[in-house]
Structure 1
Amino acid sequence: MSTERMPTKPQPVSPKQRGRFVSSLLLIFLGLSTVSPAYAASNEMARPEFAILIVSFLVLMGVTQAGVVFSATTRLSGAKWAKSYYRLADLITMAFAPFAIGGFLLIYFQSSGELFYWLSPAPEEHLSAYLNSDWLLFRNLFCLLVFYGLSAVYFWKSLRPDLSGSDNIDHQEVRDQLYWMSPLIIIAYIVCSTIIAWDFGMMLIPHWHSTVFPIHYWFGNAYAATAALIVLPVLLGRFSSSEFQFSTQQIRYFSMLVSGFMLLWLYFMWAQFFVMWFGNLPRETDALFRQMYGHYAPLYWTMVAGCFFIPFGSLIFAYFNRSVRAMCVLALTINLGNWINKYLMVIPVYSAEDRILDHLSEVALSVGLLAAFVIVVVLFARRLPVYSYWEINLKPKTSVTGDLPTHEVGNYT
């Protein structure tokens, strides 16, 4: 996004256009709230079908939560080139907040007996205090509320200077407040994602314990979110009055960031695989080998190709490092790999030969969930400044002597 060509303020939207978007959003909300629980309850083998919608929910929640983490991380690292993305990254996190909290409550009350089967043990089986229905609800809901509460404060502090249009606000002070809040955002994200990874992934396999699994889970979401931030401005540029533009330098910075995430994603995947393979415990290797071999093997290697082999083979060429279209295609490939990763995390536990095309209703609901989220983002982008103008125009602090600026790297353009 070249800051030299940015609009000074969002363009007005006609009431007719706004009404059309609001009507579409309400219809999708109504459909998701009524159809998904009814569909799940009407099938004898509800869990495998309903799991596809849960997988899509987990993917969207994880990717959108990492949006505000992108802002926090780049603020801490002093990456000036990322200032154009602060508002959009924060916005996607807040746009999915009601979906995340409402979706978790819907899953808990409608399908906890099927998804969290360990809540109903055999009479002779003893469960620890952690495996408790009330504690399951409390820990997940508490973590979600804390994370989104901190994110809302973080988002509002960043947004307020652009909304007020007043010089009475000390921009340097607001910048410092956001800087010191950034570690809290990252910690809240890690804790929240770890709890979700445990309850929706690791605990589905009896007696399986892995310290690497939650790291691989939330790191994969951050990887996919970084890639998604390349696609979203292009998408919103078609539906929003605000103009999103990239510069070659920004695309190159994104390609370097994606390259780093790609290598670390492979490292965490290998760290988890090697420990399970070397330990050779059937309760661990059975779940892993079910993904790698047999019915799910094509999906597993598609995931590996989408998250590593294709990005690795593409980013070594300069063309991909300066082309918006090429990076958008690559970003979609990475996000497809991330979706398959979450699919393999849940589905093989319940079905040895599940086929996605056998559950088109669940796929349609997942597309509806994605569409509802995109509509909310578009509405926010139409109503709010899509750039953090005050941060872009803010000059860096200088030292006492006035000679040395604060540590910020990269360019705006």
Structure 2
Amino acid sequence: GLGLIAILISVTWADMDWIMSLDPFFTSTLFGALVGVGALLAAMAAAIAGYAFNPRNENRNPDSKLMNDLGNLLLAFVMIWAYFSLSQFLIMWSGDLPQEAAFYQRRLMNSWSWITPALALGGFFIPLACLLSQDFKRDALKLGLLALFLLGVRLVELAWMVLPGGHKTPLVGFHWSLLPALFAIPGSYLLAMEALVRRDARQTEKNLLIPDE
């Protein structure tokens, strides 16, 4: 309970201080929710990929019913993310305020012009088409690959938000320090997950060794 509240506050603060502040004239009441849902979607995708490709799974064949439920949750997060993204775009574009519309205008020009529709395609339409199939959701390999694909889309979306738009190349604003960050952050997450899995495994083994009274 308290952890979720802390995550909500920290994510809202971080996206405003680290992302939205890059454009001092850009304001959006939906921006915090959009970034937060994107983070939840990425976390869900990482959890699904970790479970689907976990070699400790019995016979390396995760339960199909569980994978179907995880796929439904992933679909829900995808649809919520798409709803917030479209809502923010329509509100700002229809309002036609220069300081707000400029955010999307810069990302619909030059090399960014193909990244924006690619995000819509890879972030919503492709996952939607896949996750509407029950057979797809029950297949651990396919669902795991889709989860990894969505993690890649989230990275592109963050770059789309952070790197300045309206330039001849989408790599404007790219710095070498981004490369170790791409490995350090997921690596820290994987190490933490591995530690939790090992702890749970030791606890389970300990419980099995304790005889029932």
TM-score under structure 1 length normalisation: 0.45
2:141 is matched with which residue?
325
Residue 357 and residue 318 in structure 1: after superposition, are their counterparts in 2 closer, same or farther (change >3 A)? farther
- Of 179, 188, 193, 1:373 maps to 188
Q: How far apart are residue 365 of structure 1 and its match?
A: 1.8
Q: How far apart are residue 226 of structure 1 and its match?
A: 0.8
* 8 A Cα contact 2:68 2:134, kept in partner: no
- Partners in 2 of 1:357 and 1:317 — Cα distance? 39
- Of 307, 310, 332, 2:123 maps to 307
For residues 17-36 of structure 1, the aligned pairs below 5 Å read none
Gaps of 5+ in 2: 205-213
* 8 A Cα contact 1:303 1:336, kept in partner: no
For residues 72-87 of structure 1, the aligned pairs below 5 Å read none
SS at 1:264 equivalent: helix
Amino acid at match of 2:57: F
For residues 82-161 of structure 1, the aligned pairs below 5 Å read none
2:57 is matched with which residue?
244
Residue 388 and residue 282 in structure 1: after superposition, are their counterparts in 2 closer, same or farther (change >3 A)? farther
Q: How far apart are residue 286 of structure 1 and its match?
A: 1.5
- Of 222, 247, 250, 2:40 maps to 222
For residues 243-282 of structure 1, the aligned pairs below 5 Å read 243-245=56-58, 246-282=62-98
Amino acid at match of 1:369: A
* 8 A Cα contact 1:307 1:333, kept in partner: no
* 8 A Cα contact 2:163 2:174, kept in partner: no
Compare relative contact order (CA 8 Å, sep 6+) and give the higher one, 1 or 2: 1
Residue 304 and residue 380 in structure 1: after superposition, are their counterparts in 2 closer, same or farther (change >3 A)? same
* 8 A Cα contact 1:251 1:324, kept in partner: yes
User: Is the counterpart of residue 196 in structure 1 residue 14 in structure 2?
Assistant: yes
- Partners in 2 of 1:375 and 1:217 — Cα distance? 21
2:209 is matched with which residue?
none
- Partners in 2 of 1:283 and 1:334 — Cα distance? 30
CA RMSD of aligned residues (A): 2.9
Q: How far apart are residue 380 of structure 1 and its match?
A: 1.4
* 8 A Cα contact 2:53 2:141, kept in partner: no
Q: How far apart are residue 366 of structure 1 and its match?
A: 3.5
* 8 A Cα contact 1:223 1:262, kept in partner: yes
Q: How far apart are residue 306 of structure 1 and its match?
A: 1.9
Q: Deviations over 1:165-184 (max 9, x none)?
A: xxxxxxxxxxxxxxxxx2x2
Q: Deviations over 1:88-125 (max 9, x none)?
A: xxxxxxxxxxxxxxxxxxxxxxxxxxxxxxxxxxxxxx
* 8 A Cα contact 2:163 2:172, kept in partner: no
TM-score under structure 2 length normalisation: 0.82
SS at 1:348 equivalent: coil
Amino acid at match of 1:282: P
For residues 10-89 of structure 1, the aligned pairs below 5 Å read none
2:105 is matched with which residue?
289
User: Is the counterpart of residue 335 in structure 1 residue 160 in structure 2?
Assistant: no
- Partners in 1 of 2:31 and 2:23 — Cα distance? 12
- Partners in 2 of 1:201 and 1:306 — Cα distance? 22
SS at 1:207 equivalent: coil
Amino acid at match of 2:94: F
Q: How far apart are residue 185 of structure 1 and its match?
A: 2.0
- Partners in 2 of 1:325 and 1:262 — Cα distance? 19
- Partners in 1 of 2:189 and 2:88 — Cα distance? 34
- Partners in 2 of 1:222 and 1:352 — Cα distance? 30
4+ long deviations beyond 3 Å: 353-364, 386-389
1:205 is matched with which residue?
23
* 8 A Cα contact 1:208 1:284, kept in partner: yes
* 8 A Cα contact 1:255 1:321, kept in partner: yes
Amino acid at match of 1:318: Q
User: Is the counterpart of residue 384 in structure 1 residue 202 in structure 2?
Assistant: no
Which structure is larger by alpha-carbon Rg, 1 or 2?
A: 1
- Partners in 1 of 2:132 and 2:190 — Cα distance? 35
Residue 357 and residue 271 in structure 1: after superposition, are their counterparts in 2 closer, same or farther (change >3 A)? closer
Residue 367 and residue 191 in structure 1: after superposition, are their counterparts in 2 closer, same or farther (change >3 A)? closer
Residue 388 and residue 271 in structure 1: after superposition, are their counterparts in 2 closer, same or farther (change >3 A)? farther
Seq. identity, %: 23
SS at 2:168 equivalent: coil
User: Is the counterpart of residue 233 in structure 1 residue 46 in structure 2?
Assistant: no
Counting matched residue pairs gives 203
